[in-house]
A = this chain, B = another copy of it.
Amino acid sequence: MAKNSDNEKAITIYDIAKEAGVSPSTVSRVLTNSVNVRPEKRERIEALIEKYNFRPNAMAKGLSDTRSRVLGVLMADIRNPFYSAVYVACENAALARGYRVILSCTLGETEREIEQLDIMKQQRVESIIQIGGRVDAVITDSSYIKKAKEISAQLPIITSGKIDEVSCYRVVIDANEAIRLLTEHLIGLGHERIALVGGRLDVISTYEKYMTYCRILKEHGIPINKRYVYEGRYDYDAGYSGVQELFAMKEKPTAIIAINDFCAAGVIRKLIEDGYRVPEDVSVVSYDNTYITNLIFPKLTSIDYDYETFGKMLADTAIDVANGMSVPTFRTVTPRLVIRESSAARK
């Protein structure tokens, strides 16, 4: 049966050293591969390590070299495919550079974000990557600012959003470019009555999208109808109710930009329930290009961010800063339009 962790004293470099007839430092040397060790000793030590399956205690190591080689990742909700895609990319990129990551999901609770910031500090992570949550807010919560200020004075924070009054490294998705791609795609297909569904204007990226949307319509001489903007959450229900409201109007939209793929699924569902065809009657497009785009019918036209690159940028920034390299404080991720079945020329 599996044993309790305290059943048998874990083996240490001292045990290995004694049995190999060398000093602990020599064992440490073969472990870290720092300096040369006489081959015969090295072999003897390695054999012992193998024999006992010895693995150095990461805590002791972290304590003594004061470099943890750990990155903290704070995310809103790993169950959301956007976040999980970013997370996996971060983990891969970190692993490739000899770093581990510790994850924490804050589930939208500011308290939990603040608490986890502390825990990560206790863990002595070398930097913190925060995606989603308070950092997305147009106006950062003040209790959060307080904690973030304190933390950022001691270790770098990398975020895809921003934190008021706190200087941090930002790796952000170009929201303006994203909405531009979508809007111009639809305009190019002949649409003019383009609605925005889901998302709240107190979230930076959503707000930016809204502003750019207005600008682009104006550039194309298309009148802006504020009623075509339906604020809501970032989920299926928002999409569903959005359509409910928008299609109660006389001048119905012919195209909808949903705030993410979940929302788009709700939009499409409600449209189909109401007898509209997508994309024949209404075009629907969205952001994030998660696997949801391929699961639903019709397959969604969506904005992709190249998650591998995004995650790598985050992890690389985090690691580089921790290593004292000079790193741009603002980097941007360029979105890309992926056209599938849900958008078509206006009838």
Query: Nearest chain B CB to A223's CB is how many angstroms away?
Result: 33
Q: Are B60 and A2 in contact (CB under 8 A)?
A: no
Query: Nearest chain B CB to A327's CB is how many angstroms away?
Result: 10
- Contact (A10, B154) CB under 8 Å given A1-B167, A2-B169, A56-B122: yes
Q: Are B55 and A122 in contact (CB under 8 A)?
A: yes
Q: Are B122 and A6 in contact (CB under 8 A)?
A: no
Q: Are B167 and A2 in contact (CB under 8 A)?
A: yes
For A235, the closest partner residue in chain B by CB is B291
From B2, B118, B154, A156 is in contact (CB under 8 Å) with: B2
Query: Nearest chain B CB to A264's CB is how many angstroms away?
Result: 9
Query: Nearest chain B CB to A266's CB is how many angstroms away?
Result: 8
Query: Nearest chain B CB to A180's CB is how many angstroms away?
Result: 27
Q: Are B85 and A79 in contact (CB under 8 A)?
A: yes
Q: Is the C-beta of A155 less than 8 angstroms from some C-beta in chain B?
A: yes
- Residues in A155-187 with C-beta less than 8 Å from chain B: 155-157, 167-169
Q: Is the C-beta of A119 less than 8 angstroms from some C-beta in chain B?
A: yes
Q: Which one, A61-69, A136-144, A250-258, is touching chain B?
A: A61-69
Could you tell me how many residues of chain A have their Cβ less than 8 Å away from some Cβ of chain B? 70
Q: Are A4 and B295 in contact (CB under 8 A)?
A: no
From B102, B121, B167, B323, A55 is in contact (CB under 8 Å) with: B121
Q: Is the C-beta of A20 less than 8 angstroms from some C-beta in chain B?
A: no
For A2, the closest partner residue in chain B by CB is B156
Q: Are B295 and A124 in contact (CB under 8 A)?
A: no
Chain B residues with CB under 8 A of A154: 3, 5, 7-8, 10
Query: Nearest chain B CB to A24's CB is how many angstroms away?
Result: 16
Q: Are B55 and A6 in contact (CB under 8 A)?
A: no
Query: Nearest chain B CB to A159's CB is how many angstroms away?
Result: 10
Q: Is the C-beta of A57 less than 8 angstroms from some C-beta in chain B?
A: yes
Chain B residues with CB under 8 A of A236: 291, 294-295
Q: Are B68 and A78 in contact (CB under 8 A)?
A: no
Q: Is the C-beta of A87 less than 8 angstroms from some C-beta in chain B?
A: yes
From B122, B268, B322, A58 is in contact (CB under 8 Å) with: B122
- Chain A 236-274, CB-CB to B under 8 Å as 1, else 0, gives 100000000000000000000000001001001100100
Q: Is the C-beta of A297 less than 8 angstroms from some C-beta in chain B?
A: yes
Chain B residues with CB under 8 A of A321: 2, 4
- Contact (A157, B55) CB under 8 Å given A63-B60, A84-B84: no
- Complex CA gap A265/B300 in Å reads 14
From B85, B124, B156, B272, A59 is in contact (CB under 8 Å) with: B124
Chain B residues with CB under 8 A of A6: 66, 324
- Residues in A312-327 with C-beta less than 8 Å from chain B: 321-324
Given contact pairs A269-B297, A296-B296, enumerate 4 new A-B contacts (beta carbons under 8 Å).
A5-B322, A58-B123, A59-B60, A236-B291
- 25 A-B residue pairs with Cβ-Cβ distance under 8 Å, sorted by A, are A1-B329, A2-B153, A2-B167, A3-B155, A5-B127, A5-B155, A7-B154, A8-B154, A53-B150, A55-B118, A58-B123, A58-B124, A59-B63, A59-B124, A78-B88, A79-B85, A88-B107, A91-B105, A100-B102, A102-B103, A236-B295, A262-B291, A262-B295, A265-B295, A268-B297
The 4 closest A-B pairs by CB, nearest first: A2-B156, A59-B62, A265-B295, A58-B122
